[in-house]
Copies of this chain bind each other. A is one copy, B any other.
Amino acid sequence: MAQQPTALLLGTAPQGGALPADWRADILRAIEARLEIVSGLHDFLNNDAELVAAAQRSGTRLWDVRRPPRVPLFSGAAWDAQQHVCLFVGSDCAVGKMTAALELTRAANAVGRRAEFLATGQTGIMIAGKGIAVDCVVSDFVSGAAEQLVVDADPRSDVLFMEGQGGINHPAYAQVTLGLLFGSGADSLVLTHSAGRDEIDTFGTPILPLTELIALYERLCGTVKPAPVVGICLNTLGMDDDAARRAITETERETGLPTDDVVRFGPHRLYGLVAERLQGKTLPLGSRAMAAHLL
């Protein structure tokens, strides 16, 4: 406590999101020291009688970042948003979708665009100060939660960068990915991939070749509301700059799409290459949906 902290951040989420038993003593000690407890766990601290009682005694707050607000079912309202919606999709979990979305938001704002970052996971919410942890939303309502983030975005913004989750062929989490894909009403996608990773983390199922992955995302969207992949954020962590440049060039050649590591080399070059495609709105498919939008 020598640094006079004001909060204890439970920033890692163990698989399944339960509270590890051996954290309890430390959390109680932090509560006694009147620290705010900021938690990204699936297990809500506010449902834990012992922690709630301790927080009440010391007058501090338990913030369950992942606790979702009540959201309506998906209605199609996202299709009416004025902003261009760009969703980050990935080849796996933990490839850098959130970071890439934050970086492109920064690059857009740097050139005078009104861009907003929409957080869909606990770390993004801690950074943005708001958002919805969609993996914690009851499954029927995931697309509704994504839609709500779009509907509630600043109406003065003109492009919304939505943080993605999971990957479309992730054995455990693909359902969250697809809920975001349809619920966001995305107009464009940015694909994020970790260079050199070839298996879905912990399951050993293969990461698809990027061209196949792009085709799969575009084909799925294309059955509801078409959205092209406009660029690729390649995570080259652990490579030296030369190897990173080679991986980027190779990915550009393989996919024909602008590619960069927006952390290593900054987001401005990639943003410049995709900016033109982050404009305007696409329409959902379907006669009634189309008609409603053409009225």
Using a CB–CB cutoff of 8 Å, the interface residues on chain A facing chain B are: 15-17, 42, 72-76, 134-140, 142-144, 168-176, 178-179, 182-183, 199-200, 203-206, 208, 216, 219-220, 223-225, 284-292
A–B complex contacts, Cβ < 8 Å, 5 sampled: A74-B172, A136-B139, A174-B179, A175-B178, A204-B290
CA A115 to CA B17, docked complex, whole Å: 35
> How many monomers of this protein are in the complex?
2
CA A134 to CA B140, docked complex, whole Å: 9
Min Cβ gap A247→B in Å is 22
Taking a contact as CB atoms under 8 Å apart, the answer to whether A140 and B223 are in contact is no
Taking a contact as CB atoms under 8 Å apart, the answer to whether B139 and A285 are in contact is no
CA A17 to CA B174, docked complex, whole Å: 24
> Closest residue of chain B to A208, judged by CB?
B223
> Closest residue of chain B to A79, judged by CB?
B171
Q: Report B-chain residues with C-beta under 8 Å of the C-beta of A134.
A: 139
Taking a contact as CB atoms under 8 Å apart, the answer to whether A143 and B173 are in contact is yes
The 4 closest A-B pairs by CB, nearest first: A204-B288, A175-B179, A169-B223, A204-B286
Check A203/B286 contact, CB under 8 A, given A74-B172, A172-B73, A174-B182: yes
Min Cβ gap A1→B in Å is 34
Q: Report B-chain residues with C-beta under 8 Å of the C-beta of A16.
A: 72-73
> Closest residue of chain B to A135, judged by CB?
B140
Taking a contact as CB atoms under 8 Å apart, the answer to whether B143 and A135 are in contact is no
Taking a contact as CB atoms under 8 Å apart, the answer to whether B138 and A137 are in contact is yes
